[in-house]
Structure 1
Amino acid sequence: MSGRGLAKHLGVLDIFCIAVGAMVSSGIFVLPGIAHAMAGPAVLLSYFLAGCLMASAALSTIELVTAMPKAGGDYFFIARAMGPAVGTVLGLLSWFALTLKSAFALVGIWAFAHKLLPFDARPVVVGLGVFFTALNLLGTKGSSRFQTIFVVLLLSLMGLYVIVGFPRVQVSYFVPFAPHGWNSVLATAAFVFVSYGGLLKISALAEEVKNPSRTIPLGLLLALLSTVVVYCLVVFVTSGVLGSESLDHSLTPISDAAALVMGKTGEIALTIAAMTAFLTTANAGILSASRYLLSLSRDELLPTFFGRVHPGTQTPVPAVLTTGAFLIGLFFVPLESLVKMASMVILLTQALTNACVIILRESRIHNYRPTFRAPWYPWLQITSLAGILFLLAEIGLQTFLIGLIFVGAGLVFFWFYGRLKQEREYALLHILERMSARKVVRNALESELKEIIRQRDEMCLDRFDRIIEASHVVDLGRIHGVEELLRELNPALLERGLDRPLGVEDLEGEEPRVKFVEIFEGIGVAEAAASRPDVFDVVLVRSRAGISFPGAAAPLHALFFFLVGSDEKDFQLKAVAALAQVLQDPKFDSRWRRARNAQALKDLIVLADRRRVCSLEPRPWEPQALPDESS
């Protein structure tokens, strides 16, 4: 086994099915009876409101994942926004919470199996745990296929239940609609919010997604929309068929209603649907949870053993085996109080996700470039954060104290292990640097995000990119005339191949030594002959205030000065074409002016969306072949 990357097998359908499978389980097959006792028929609104709150958190998560589509999902971007201490605690807790939820799904399978099997189903359930572990060892493709088949079966059975049950709904069961008041509807929304909790954990699989910029937003939003619709329809039919007397406090409400409208066959069908839901939740849990161990190991916050990836299946074998073994062990442990703690972890993670969007945007890190931006910033994040904190307040003192113990254990682990392994730069430091006007960052986070963008967008490094990376930058703070500009520019040009210093006279006349073209207002390209025929180089000039340059209609903020040897005329045309594509971005001028340093100016060009000839160029995220030592 090696440390190679994970295979990109997951498409929109895969993400949709994994997300739906992660959400649909006890939240709809067990909770509606308890929730109906709390809110009455208005429980329908409680499920809808909880879905809306999840949507706000989902939009923030999608923004972060499209910026950083890496294994570990919320751990990865929380660590990059808030630091390795917070990331370590949340990564370990998320792994534990997801594994715990999967173990509880196995308990659900065992509970519903009593309706179908005449014997104790514990050995069967343990066998399922082993099966899911083995399935995930074989790769995400096989696991996602299993998920797709069972989610289609699950949604078909639930759709059949809604279609058959709808005509049997009695309107009188919805009067009064909110017998316990509207406050109880909000409190119940907090109670059923965990029914959507599996959605955001799919971000842990981001590194294995094909075209994550499109696939993740589409897959997650379709999954959430579908789940909200299914939940509301199923709860509506169940409330209208059973009524309060039969529904309140029932632990098998959907099966009970199916028995009433579809007979014994319907009860069996919906019991199978419930078990199918628990199967998909357990499978999605192992698939997602194991990626937290992988990502923590990559960041040296866990032993490197957990970061090993099998070269054939391209799966993190030690991480999957550890998660599967822990899952099976938890099946034999009383889980009730710990499951509530897992729900608290999910809520806490979603609160921090909203905070991460605010931190990363306000840090003004130039390589934070999500392809999807959450709307209504920052009010969406603040409102979502307030709603999640309200739900956390409803979680209960005992659960809060248990969660606090686990947080403390995570901090102790980080202090004695992770802290000694690495010092990671994070976005919060960039905000502190700007507030204190003191240098506290080394741009390591910018470099890491640059490599992530290249991998996400499958960018190769062509010759033009490499020339830009090696170029000299002249950054002028105040208004400069031509003579002042040349004093700053000449040393760099002479070092790179200019035969003699330039003067003002070289920019003027009918045959000037320096050729100049103003491409757009405030952006120009200049060219001078190099002393050697094989030279091609560029010097980047930025002036926030503007440069008065001969031949320019307006002061220049960006000047690209090319040195061109006689043998490089053909490549000069390619370089100008590449630069023209970069400059087509309508936001280029404003980003160029705002860039905080020389590297940010270079990154603005080398990370631009343009055509590159990649067939013979290295891709920085792919392992390069080693030279043959025998030759």
Structure 2
Amino acid sequence: LMLILFIFVNFSVIIMRESKIINYRPTFRSPFYPWIQIFSIFIYGFLILEMGKVPFLISISFVGLSLLWFFLYAGKIRREFALMHLVERITAKELVNVSLEEELKEILHQRDGVVKDRFDQIIEKCPVLDLKERIGKEEFFSLVSGILSFRLDIEAKKIKELLLKREEESSTVVEKELALPHIVIEGENKFEIVVVRAKEGIIFSPQEVVKIVFVLAGTSDQRNFYLRSLMIIANIVREHHFISCFMKAKSKERLRLAILSSTRKRQL
């Protein structure tokens, strides 16, 4: 039975690695992947066959009973698994939701002693836009202003004017394909973030076409958190693989997860 478990362990490594789940970040990565795993599967299978007919039949029975248990009981529990993510990646279809990635995110946070801070809590509830077509700056600001107007209880026209004015003062495009438009609004104790992915780009200027945008709007009494949020976002987008994971995410919730899975230090 131990040999079967070793075979399944190697299969699991391949499935988890190839599924490209955002939150799968093991602390150790096997060298010479996937050749060691493939070689091990064949070797363990060969050893089972060499042990004789009885051990082989016991092994087959064990696998059969496990599959029977899965389909009669475990299969009824609605849980996604990495193999489905692998199938999804191969077929380019939305076959599963994000529950597995949520679970992995929680495991990662527990492993690393991560406690959610205010920024995480805002990202969990903030609007996420996934734009499919290329649009201009003014059209984009009109869209975002409408969303922020509802959440901040301020006229959309006023928000758009502030965004355009801020952009005229100096461009909020901080680096290639990333912009951080941010405005200070009237009132007290208000702060909102809108996360945007635009695969075809948002034209901020003839020379600046961005694909990732974080729009921040807050009152003056939120200044410290305002500045901290800008720094947090700047650090997140510089993390290894963040941009590629963010751009490849298959849904709005996975865009959100890409941000929440950051390895940054949380401040409570």
TM-score (norm 2): 0.86
Q: Residues 487 and 393 of structure 1: is their aligned pair in 2 closer, same or farther, counting only changes over 3 Å?
A: farther
- Displaced runs of 4 or more, over 6 A: 502-505
Which of 240, 245, 250 is residue 591 of structure 1 equivalent to? 245
Which of 72, 84, 98 is residue 443 of structure 1 equivalent to? 98
The answer on 1:557 being equivalent to 2:217 is no
Deviations 1:98-123 (A, max 9, x none): xxxxxxxxxxxxxxxxxxxxxxxxxx
Deviations 1:135-186 (A, max 9, x none): xxxxxxxxxxxxxxxxxxxxxxxxxxxxxxxxxxxxxxxxxxxxxxxxxxxx
How big is the shift at 1:566?
2.2
Q: Which residue of 2 aligns with 1:501?
A: 157
The answer on 1:370 being equivalent to 2:26 is yes
More helix, by proportion: 1
Give the RMSD, CA atoms, in angstroms: 2.7
Q: What is the alpha-carbon distance in structure 1 between the residues aligned to residue 91 and residue 263 of structure 2? A: 35
Q: Which residue of 1 aligns with 2:4?
A: 348
Which of 176, 187, 190 is residue 532 of structure 1 equivalent to? 187
The answer on 1:424 being equivalent to 2:93 is no
How big is the shift at 1:559?
1.0
The one-letter code matched in structure 2 to 1:356 is: S
How big is the shift at 1:453?
0.8
Deviations 1:210-260 (A, max 9, x none): xxxxxxxxxxxxxxxxxxxxxxxxxxxxxxxxxxxxxxxxxxxxxxxxxxx
Which of 232, 235, 238 is residue 578 of structure 1 equivalent to? 232
**Are 2:182 and 2:217, in contact at CA under 8 Å, matched by a contact in 1?**
yes
The one-letter code matched in structure 2 to 1:387 is: I
Q: Which residue of 2 aligns with 1:612?
A: 266
Q: Which residue of 2 aligns with 1:474?
A: 129
**Are 2:181 and 2:213, in contact at CA under 8 Å, matched by a contact in 1?**
yes
Quick one: percent identity of the two aligned structures? Answer: 34
User: 3-state DSSP class of the match of 2:215?
Assistant: strand
The one-letter code matched in structure 2 to 1:537 is: E
Which structure is larger by alpha-carbon Rg, 1 or 2?
1
How big is the shift at 1:439?
4.0
User: 3-state DSSP class of the match of 1:402?
Assistant: helix
Q: Which residue of 2 aligns with 1:359?
A: 15
How big is the shift at 1:505?
6.5
Equivalent runs, 1:230-309 vs 2, <5 Å: none
Equivalent runs, 1:614-629 vs 2, <5 Å: 614=268
Q: Which residue of 1 aligns with 2:51?
A: 395
Q: What is the alpha-carbon distance in structure 2 between the residues aligned to residue 553 and residue 584 of structure 1? A: 22
**Are 1:521 and 1:553, in contact at CA under 8 Å, matched by a contact in 2?**
no
Unmatched 5+ stretches in structure 1: 1-344, 615-631
Deviations 1:71-118 (A, max 9, x none): xxxxxxxxxxxxxxxxxxxxxxxxxxxxxxxxxxxxxxxxxxxxxxxx
TM-score (norm 1): 0.39
The one-letter code matched in structure 2 to 1:581 is: N
User: 3-state DSSP class of the match of 1:580?
Assistant: helix
User: 3-state DSSP class of the match of 1:543?
Assistant: strand
Q: Residues 501 and 394 of structure 1: is their aligned pair in 2 closer, same or farther, counting only changes over 3 Å?
A: farther
Q: What is the alpha-carbon distance in structure 2 between the residues aligned to residue 470 and residue 515 of structure 1? A: 29
Q: What is the alpha-carbon distance in structure 2 between the residues aligned to residue 499 and residue 513 of structure 1? A: 20
The one-letter code matched in structure 2 to 1:563 is: A
How big is the shift at 1:351?
1.6
Q: Which residue of 2 aligns with 1:407?
A: 63
User: 3-state DSSP class of the match of 2:196?
Assistant: strand
Which of 92, 104, 107 is residue 452 of structure 1 equivalent to? 107
Q: What is the alpha-carbon distance in structure 1 between the residues aligned to residue 208 and residue 253 of structure 2? A: 26
Q: What is the alpha-carbon distance in structure 2 between the residues aligned to residue 411 and residue 590 of structure 1? A: 36
How big is the shift at 1:545?
2.6
Q: What is the alpha-carbon distance in structure 1 between the residues aligned to residue 208 and residue 14 of structure 2? A: 36
Number of residue-to-residue matches in the alignment: 267
User: 3-state DSSP class of the match of 1:461?
Assistant: coil
Q: Residues 374 and 570 of structure 1: is their aligned pair in 2 closer, same or farther, counting only changes over 3 Å?
A: same
The one-letter code matched in structure 2 to 1:389 is: G
User: 3-state DSSP class of the match of 2:217?
Assistant: strand
Q: What is the alpha-carbon distance in structure 2 between the residues aligned to residue 530 and residue 505 of structure 1? A: 11
**Are 1:541 and 1:559, in contact at CA under 8 Å, matched by a contact in 2?**
yes
Q: What is the alpha-carbon distance in structure 2 between the residues aligned to residue 453 and residue 440 of structure 1? A: 24
The one-letter code matched in structure 1 to 2:116 is: L
**Are 1:515 and 1:527, in contact at CA under 8 Å, matched by a contact in 2?**
no
**Are 2:130 and 2:252, in contact at CA under 8 Å, matched by a contact in 1?**
yes
Q: Residues 531 and 598 of structure 1: is their aligned pair in 2 closer, same or farther, counting only changes over 3 Å?
A: farther
Equivalent runs, 1:52-451 vs 2, <5 Å: 345-419=1-75, 422-436=77-91, 438-451=93-106
More strand, by proportion: 2
Q: Which residue of 2 aligns with 1:485?
A: 140
